[in-house]
Amino acid sequence: MNPPRVTIDNSSSADATVIQVESVNKPGILLEVVQVLTDLNLVITKAYISSDGRWFMDVFNVKQRNGNKVRDEGVISYIKKVLESDAFYVPSLESSVGLKSSLDYTSIELAGADRPGLLSEVCAVLADLSCNVVSAEIWTHNARAAAVVNVTDDMTGCAIEDPDRLLTIKNRLCNVFKGNNDLKTAKMTLSPPGSMHRERRLHQIMFADRDYEKVEHEDVTGLKAEVSVLDCVEKDYTVITMRCKDRPKLLFDTVCTITDMQYVVYHGVVHTGKMEAYQEYYIRHVDGIRISSEAERKRVMKCLEAAIERRTSEALELELCAEDQVGLLSEITRIFRENSLCIKRAEISTENGRAKDTFYVTNTTGDGPVDPRTIDSIRKQIGKHTALDARWNLSPQKPTREETTMSYLFGHFFKFPIG
């Protein structure tokens, strides 16, 4: 009776495309919208969220990665088509970690203790078992590792569905993680086929692996995320505020974590400046109750800090382009390992017979820059037919007081009566 309505405006803002979404409120709708915009590689610079009662209305200011407005009619049409459809589905937290088959590939989900060379060992096992990696994403955080790896049979190019072969893959990969002497058992169980969003699954896997539990250490950079969880008694909300370095997909990461921890955002504001991002959310648990215990307050803070940190690292970004071939990823990660590089994060993809892989690497100690001579050596080893570009993914200096003033103003936005 009341289908969603999406308005996309390129005239009201001088430097951004304004997207307004109005809909009957439903669980998870904020994450659905943010996920669509994030998957299109759009940068959300501002957001105003209101979903109290039965109606949901959000306004997002977005840009392309190059800083331009969204003017491509195909992209605009896609956004409206997807967000105005009631059929859009974001998978829930209920699916377990393990192996899943789709028509095109088998998805392998891994979690366990991180160590130098772990990805290389995983890739070597998959290559030995005649599995071709068609896409993958690997995250590491707080000495834990999680991966979603999509593979096909290297002979047929199709998903691997034979139960005995899947069991062999599972056992071999479990042996790799057992080599870690990990007190936590590596998580790999068989799961039925189902839909999933890869990056959301990685958050879920690491959350289930409790990567947010850590020994506190001194923040030598001064760029640690600032997360607070406070009571707004007069309006019966819990208020979450976050200040941290801005980066792509930050809003998705925090909203995803809030949603999967079973909280609902009723009101919120997001603002990004030149140096940092500020987020403020008024939340309750799905049962309508605000956070009432100190233990849960601290847990939410730790989980949001982890969500921000999982994709934040001062590392050398290596982008590799090459003709795709069976065993390519195994060979590349072996070369990295033999040159004492530690992979902190990786995104693997193939399209039209070409592999495009991005690795975020440090030295094995993780506390110093990678020697440029190491990169030159790797280029020689991988051959002239493989392009390898390198650039540092460094944090900026901590913002000055003047640069953060706008964030503090937004921090008081909802202190006044709403509507």
Mean pLDDT over the full length of the chain: 84
Give the model's pLDDT for residue 20: 96
Check whether residue 201 and residue 327 sit in a common domain.
yes
Higher pLDDT, 345 or 180: 345
Does residue 193 lie in a domain region? yes
Task: Tell me which DSSP letter residue 13 carries.
Answer: S
Check whether residue 90 and residue 127 sit in a common domain.
no
Cβ(56)–Cβ(22) below 8 Å? yes
Check whether residue 238 and residue 269 sit in a common domain.
yes
Higher pLDDT, 352 or 368: 352
88 has pLDDT over 70: no
Does residue 307 lie in a domain region? no
Check whether residue 193 and residue 322 sit in a common domain.
yes
Higher pLDDT, 252 or 400: 252
Check whether residue 178 and residue 324 sit in a common domain.
yes
What residues have CB less than 8 Å from 322, skipping those under 6 apart? 328, 354, 355, 382, 385, 386, 387
319 has pLDDT over 80: yes
389 has pLDDT over 80: yes
Does residue 416 lie in a domain region? no
Does residue 402 lie in a domain region? no
Rounded average pLDDT over 92-103: 46
Q: Residues of 252-269 as b/e, b for ≥16 C-beta within 10 angstroms?
A: bbbbbbbbbbebbbbbbb
Check whether residue 37 and residue 69 sit in a common domain.
yes
Domain span at residue 76 reads 5-94+232-286
416 has pLDDT over 70: no
Higher pLDDT, 183 or 416: 183
Check whether residue 18 and residue 88 sit in a common domain.
yes
Give the model's pLDDT for residue 137: 94
Give the model's pLDDT for residue 404: 42
* Rounded Cα gap, residues 338 and 356, in angstroms: 21
DSSP string for 193-225: -----HHHHHHHHHHHTTTT-------SSS---
118 has pLDDT over 80: yes
Give the model's pLDDT for residue 257: 97
As a whole number of angstroms, the longest Cα–Cα distance in the chain is 66
Rounded average pLDDT over 413-419: 39
Task: Tell me which DSSP letter residue 234 carries.
Answer: G
Give the model's pLDDT for residue 100: 53
pLDDT band at 94 (very low <50, low <70, confident <90, very high): very low
Give the model's pLDDT for residue 178: 73
With a pLDDT cut of 90, the percent of the chain lying above it is: 57
Does residue 181 lie in a domain region? yes
Give the model's pLDDT for residue 211: 93
Q: CATH no. for residue 44?
A: 3.40.1020
Does residue 27 lie in a domain region? yes
138 has pLDDT over 70: yes
Check whether residue 143 and residue 281 sit in a common domain.
no
Instruction: Give how many domains the chain has, as a whole number.
Output: 2
Check whether residue 203 and residue 261 sit in a common domain.
no
